[in-house]
Amino acid sequence: MPFNLDKFVASPSVEELDSLKKSEIVKVAKHYGIEFQPLMRKDKIKRYVLEYLVDESILPSTVLETAITVPTDNTFELKRLEMEMNKEI
C-alpha cells in the first residue's frame, strides 16, 4: 500500500512512521516544516519528526521513551578506533 501523507497527517502513528522509507519521512518532515539536512540518516530525521509530534502534543511523550536508537556504522567505527587506541597505550 503506497504512503498517503494526508492520511498520516490526519492520524499519525509511530507504527506507520517506523514503516516509512526515508523519502516518505522526508515528506512528513517537510509537511510539518521541520528543519533537517538532506544528507541526514533516516533514523535522525525520524527522531526529529517524533520530537516535533510530541512537542505539538500530537503524540504522547511516551513514544520518545520507547523509541530505540540503533547504533550507526559511525558508532561502531568510533568504538573500534577507541579500542585500537587503548591497545596502543
38-78 residue pLDDT tens: 899 999 999 999 999 999 999 998 888 776 555 556 677 77
pLDDT of residue 79: 77
Domain ranges of the chain: 5-88
Mean pLDDT value of segment 6-16: 95
The CA-based angle 27-30-34, given to 5 degrees, is: 130
Q: Is the pTM of this model over 0.85?
A: no
pLDDT of residue 65: 77
